[in-house]
Amino acid sequence: MAQLPPGIRFITSFSRDQWYRAFIFSLTFLLYASFHLSRKPISIVKGELHKHCASQVELDSYKEYAAQIQPLKKPFNASQCGWEPFDKSNYKQLLGALDYSFLCAYAVGMYLSGLIGERLPIRYYLTGGMLASGLFTAMFGLGYFYNVHNLWFYIMAQIANGLVQTTGWPSVVTCIGNWFGKGRRGLIMGIWNSHTSVGNILGSLIAAYWVSTCWGLSFVVPGVIVAVMGVVCFLLLIEHPKDVSCSCTPSSHGHEPNIATEFVVSSKTFLNGASRCRIQMPTLNAKENGKPQDAEMQHLLTDSENCSVSLSSSTVATGEGRHGTSAISFLGALRIPGVVEFSFCLLFAKLVSYTFLFWLPLYITNVEHLDAKRAGDLSTLFDVGGIFGGILAGLISDRLEKRASTCGMMLLLAAPTLYMFSAVSKMGLEATVVMLLISGALVNGPYALITTAVSADLGTHKSLKGNARALSTVTAIIDGTGSVGAALGPLLAGLISPSGWNNVFYMLMVADACALLVSLKV
C-alpha cells in the first residue's frame, strides 16, 4: 500500500472537530477585523479634512483659477484649509465631535446589543450589523463625491455606524466562547484578539492609499469590504459545535477499566473524525489518569471543555438544551463577581487606546511634519506592537493564572512609557518608531486581555451554574463600559490638544493610573 503524501497526512492528523474549530477561529477573526478596518479611516482622513491654510494671496488666486476651469473633476472646495466645514480654526473640536458621535452611539448601543444578541440567532444578527455598517461607512465617503459640507451629515453617519457596529463584539465573543473551553484561554484569545490590530493596520493602509487623491474612497472601499464579509458571515458562520454534530456523547466502551484514560481528549481519541469527550466524575482522582490534566496540556484546537459531560447532572446537553436556558438579566450580569471592577478598568484602558486610535496620525503629522499618507502608514506600528502585547498578556495570564495581576503589571509599565513617548517622539523618526511599538504593546495588552479572556471567564463564571447564555450580556456590559472611556478619550484629546500635545499625554497617564488602581481591587 502506497504511503500517503505529507500534505494528506497532515490533514488527516487533525480531527473533524479540530478543523471546524480552526475554521471558526479564522472566520470570526476576519469578521471582526473588518469591523476595525472600517473604523480606522476617520483618523487617517483627519489630516486631509483640515490642512495648513495657504496664504490669502494664494487662496484668492486659487479661487480665480478655479472659477475659470470649472467644472472640475475633483469636487470644488472653496477653502484651501481643508474640507468644509472642517476648515475653521476650531477644526479639532469638530473632528473630536465626529469621534465622540461614533463612540457615544457605540457605548449606548453596546448595553442593548448584548441583551438583543442573546435572544436572536448570532448569524442573522451579525450579518445584519455588518451590512448596515458597510452602508454607513460608505455613506461618510459619499459626502466627498456629492460635495456635502453639512457637519450634521457626517455626524449622523458616525452615529448610525456606531450603533450598528455594536452587533459585532458580543456576537463574535459568544461564538468563539461556544467553540473553545477555558484551557489556555488567555493565549488563544490573545492571538485571536490581534484581529483588532490587524483590522486597524489594514484600515490605515487602505485609507492612506487614497487619502491625498480621493479621500471618499478611504471610506467607500472599507464599507464594501465590511458588507462583503457580512455576506460571508451569513453563508459560513456556525454558532455552536452542536449545529454541525460535534457531539458530546460518551463512548460505549464501558468494559474498559480506566474511563478517564479512554476519554482524555488527544489526537488518539479521534476515530473517523468523530470526537470523544472527557467525562467529569466527582469521585475520579486525577492520579488514576496517569497523565496530568492541567490546562497547559490541552491543544489549541481540541475540544476540552465545551464537550464535557457531567455524570452528576440529571440533564444531558442536547442541541436544544443551549436554547432552553433563559437569558440572564442586565442586573443579574452585574452581580457576577468581577464584572463591575473589570468594566471600570476597561473604561480607563480603552480611553487611552482609542485616543491613540483616533488621534495618533494627526499627532504624527504635527510633530514629525509628515503628510497624511506617511503619518497613517507610520501609525500602524502602534497596532503592530498591540498584536504582540495582546498575545504576551494572554500567555502571561495563563502561566500565572491571574488575569488582574497581568493587567496591573502592564498598566504599571504603560504610564512611564507614555511619558517617554511624549518626550522621545520629538527627537526624530527613529525614536518615534521604537516608542510606537513599545507603547502599543503595553497599552493594548490589558485592553485585549479584558475584552476577550476576562469577558469569557466572567461570562462562564461558576455562579451562573452552567448558564452559557450570559456570555453575550457580560461581554456587552464590559465592552460597553469601556466604550464610554473610548468616547471620552478622543473628545478630551480634541479639547486639550490646542493647549499642547504634552497635556494630552498627561491626561492619558492619569487614565492609565486610574485603570491600575481599579485592577488592584479585583
According to the per-residue pLDDT averaged within each range, which of 307-316, 322-331, 394-403 is highest?
A: 394-403
> Does pLDDT of 497 surpass 80?
yes
* pLDDT given at position 152: 94
- How far is CA 354 from each of CA 357, 360, 440, 446, 508, rounded to the nearest angstrom? 5, 9, 11, 13, 11
pLDDT in tens, 169-196: 888 988 887 887 665 667 787 888 889 8
Cell numbers found for residue 229: 464579509
pLDDT in tens, 428-442: 778 888 888 998 899
CA angle, residues 125, 31, 479, in degrees to nearest 5: 70
- Name the residue ranges covered by the structural domains of the chain: 14-49+85-241+329-520
With CA atoms as reference, report the closest residue to 359 among 201, 499, 491, 484: 491
pLDDT in tens, 356-388: 888 888 888 877 777 777 887 888 888 899 899
- How far is CA 238 from each of CA 29, 69, 150, 277, 409, rounded to the nearest angstrom? 14, 56, 42, 20, 37
Looking at the domain that runs over 14-49+85-241+329-520, which CATH code has it been given? 1.20.1250.20
> Which residues have C-beta within 8 Å of that of residue 283, sequence separation ≥ 6?
none
